[in-house]
Every structure is written in C-alpha cells, then in structure tokens.
Amino acid sequence: MAHVRPKRGHFIVFETLDKHMVTPPASQRCVILMTFTTEKAKDNPEYRDAMRFLNDLDEEKVRKLHIDHLKRIEEIKDEGVSIVQSGQELHGKERFVADGLMTEGECQKLISLLEAGGLEGDGYRGDKSPLTHNEVFTGLSAERAQKRGGLEGDGYKGKTESGPNKISPHTNLEMFEGITVGRATQLVRSGKLPKDLVQLFLRKSEQARVLVENFFNLTRPLYFDFTHLVCRTAIEEDNEERRDLSHPVHADNCLIQPDGSCLRQFPAYIARDYSAVLYLNGNPDFMGGEFFFAHGNRTEQVTVPPRCGRMVGFNAGDYHGVRAVTKGRRCAIAMWYTMDPNTQELARLQAWKKMAPQNVVQGETLGSGEENEKFDYFEEAEERNVNKEGANFLTEKKDIGINIKIHVEANDLDSEHLQNNDISEKELEFVKETYNKNGVRDNGNRKNNKHGEL
C-alpha cells in the first residue's frame, strides 16, 4: 500500500475506481476535493453557472475600466496632449508616441534642474564605469549631497576617479549626466535645489505614468520602478561619421540572446513591465540621438526623433536603442514601470510624501492610491519574517524610515541622521544589521543597472 503524506500545495490525481483511504489526522486537515467525468451529461451545472457568473463579473470590470481609460485619455487630450503614432505605425502592439506633455518653458526648467543638481556619469558604482575601462563615471550619494555637490566616482562608497571627461557608460564619444528622484529630494532638503523644480519633475513623470496606464488599457495599476533625468552630450562636435550607438539595442526586462530571443531572468530587471521616455529637447539643440525600435537581429525597425514634450511609451520587453548624438546635448526623463507594488521606487514615495504639489491627488501619484498611507515596516517584517524589534524601531521612526532604508542600500547611512539626532549610534548599527542580515528587500539595487537610460 502506497502512502502519501499531506503537504500544502500537493495535487493528487487518481482514477475513481482506485481503492483509497484517509487516516485520521492529528489536527485539522483542509482539502479541495474534485471529481471529473468524461460524460458531458453528468457535468455539474452549478459549477458551470458559477464560472459563467465570475467570467461575467470580470468582463464587466474590464469593460468599465476600458470606459474609464477612454475618458481619461480624452481628458489628457483636452490638456493639449496628442497621440501622434501608435500600434502598427510603430510596428508593435504596445507602443505609442505622444506630443504636448510639456511646454518649452517646462522643458528648460527640468534641464536647469539637471544643471543645478545633476552629476556626470550615471553613478551606479565607484568605478570609472561598470561596463568598460575606457569610461569614467562620477556620482553623488544622498549623504554626500548634504555636504557639497558632485564628486568624481559615483559616491556610493566615497570612491573618486579623476579624468578629463565623464564618459557615457555606453559609448566613449559622449558625456553622460543624470539625476534621480532620490538625489533631487535630498538636494532640496539641503537647500541646494528649489522645491518647485523637483515638484515639476515629479508631476510630469506622474502624468507620463497615467498616460501609459490608460493608453494601454491596463487592468492593474502601474507603479514607478525607477525614474532618471539624463543628458548625453557629444564630445566631438559634427562627428557625423560615427557608426556606434548612444545606447545599444536592448530590452528593459530581459536579456537579448544571439538567436534574437530575450530571456526574462536575472540580472535583467524582470519586474519592469512598461517603459517610457519623455524628451526635454530636440533639434537644433543636438543632432542625432533618435530613439528607435529594433528587430530581433538588432537592426532598426522605426525611429522617433526627440522634441520637447514628446513621449514614447512601450512594453518593457520591446527591443530599442538610441542613435549616436553627433552634436550638442540630448536630455530626457527615462521611466520604468512595474505592476508589482513590492518593487516600486521607494525614493519616489518619500519624495511625494515630502513635496507632492497640493493640486495632485494622492491616489493619482502612486497608482493604487493607498500604498503611501499603508507603508509600515512592521507589516513588511511580518511578511518576510525578519527582525521584529528592528521593524518596530523603523515604524516608530517612520518619518525617516524610508530615507534610512535608501541610505542603507547605498551603504551611506551615517552622519546625516546622527547629526540631526534622529537616531543614536547604537540604533544606527541596529538598523544596518536589521536590513543587511535579515533580508528586507532593497527595491532592486541600482548599482549595477546596465539596461537603463533611454
């Protein structure tokens, strides 16, 4: 006689005529019992009725969402936004190009935000570049931002690297500058950036998210996975003979294989579902720099020339790249979205909490509308079975909790909170130990992001 020990999730299948029995359990045992037949006449009508009812509910929900999305798209169009290309025009199912999301004045303000608080290099490691020894990075940690402006090296571990140029991570013929939401927020707190510029950064990127969510008629909310305002500048002017790319062909959530397929697995950012890029300038500020969708063999499929207020939205698995910037400086906001609230951009949650414009409804800023209010470190510790005492401390210190989390990820949590008397040295070490040894999620460590800016 064969014995099968009960275990959660086990699915046991056998013929009805097979002899079987169940031994008395020592405690409560719960199962779902199903019987099947090959005779249609004996099919259980109650089950089929229940399935039809549930399917009808789902269809009604989708129908209402579709109507809501259409209404929201019309409202967006009334605000001056127009969809200029989509679908088959761009040779893909989930792609669109929209114009009118920003005015020239707003574009120039965001470029000035980068000029005031940006750093040369994208700042993912303390090396010259995570990709090649021929490139130089510079960067700035949040703690370092409290003291002064940019430093050479990325600032995560205080490393420095000298060099005449701060070269792009993708080509040694362009310089690269960038600023994240988290860095911009820290610079506002330290008085080095005006609050209204960062509010504009948050508001315009949020409008982009709303457009993506509604245009693609999604039945689940989108959350920000990462936001980066970036500029690329040609080192040699009028270099029209260039044959390299400003950003090689890639996908944002999978790794392209030699046969043209794409594997959605680590180290790709597999949580990303959709992407968008919102341009801040175009010709004549720079030459080249066109965004393009690509075939599986990495050849160009269709190109999109940048201009102020133009946005490209697409599925994160679509192949795309950027042509070489042969002259001038090209600036844009790159955004990646996820449907998983557990991987959303924590720095953005904190930024909205501190600086959300009063005319922006909280529900619209986060996608689902409740995550910021319900963000509780003790609940997170309950889910992940980590140090409860540490979680209690973070909940008690909730106003600085998200900042603490971000600093720990960057290994930079030290002087800022100690100087402000937010936490003691003993508490600081306790928080570090809680996060570094007990596995609270790090929101997708950004130090090794090679699949990023558009």
Q: Tell me the helices (H) and strands (E) count for the chain, helix number first.
A: 13, 17
Residue 232 has pLDDT above 50, yes or no: yes
Q: Mean pLDDT over all residues of the chain? A: 75
Q: Answer yes or no: are the C-beta atoms of 348 and 443 closer than 8 Å.
A: no
Side-chain-side CA neighbours of residue 173 (13 Å): 19
Q: Please write the tens of the pLDDT for every residue from 35-80.
A: 888 888 888 888 888 888 888 888 888 888 888 888 888 999 999 9
Q: Which residue has the higher pLDDT, 147 or 12?
A: 12
Residue 344 has pLDDT above 70, yes or no: yes
Q: Can you say whether residue 153 is alpha, beta or left, with left for phi > 0 and alpha for psi between -120 and 50 degrees?
A: left
Q: Answer yes or no: are the C-beta atoms of 432 and 408 closer than 8 Å.
A: yes
At 115, give phi and psi (nearest 5°).
Answer: -65, -35
Tell the residue number behind the tokens 């937010």, with chain if given.
422
Q: Please write the tens of the pLDDT for every residue from 248-262.
A: 999 999 999 999 999
Residue 242 has pLDDT above 60, yes or no: yes
Q: Which residues are catalytic?
A: 330
pLDDT at 317: 96
Report the alpha-carbon distance of residue 345 to residue 372 in Å, rounded: 12
pLDDT at 319: 97
Report the alpha-carbon distance of residue 123 to residue 366 in Å, rounded: 26
Residue 101 tokens, joined: 């999301």
Share of the chain above pLDDT 90, in %: 36
Q: What is the rounded average pLDDT of the residues 130-135? A: 40
pLDDT at 159: 36
Between the two ends of the chain, the Cα-to-Cα distance in Å is: 63
Q: Answer yes or no: are the C-beta atoms of 304 and 89 closer than 8 Å.
A: no
Q: Answer yes or no: are the C-beta atoms of 333 and 208 closer than 8 Å.
A: yes
pTM for the model stands at: 0.64
**In a 3-state reduction of DSSP, which class is residue 26?**
coil
Q: Please write the tens of the pLDDT for every residue from 194-206.
A: 899 999 999 999 9
Query: What is the band of 227 on the pLDDT scale with cuts at 50, 70, 90?
Result: very high
| Range with top average pLDDT, 29-33, 104-108, 242-246 | 104-108
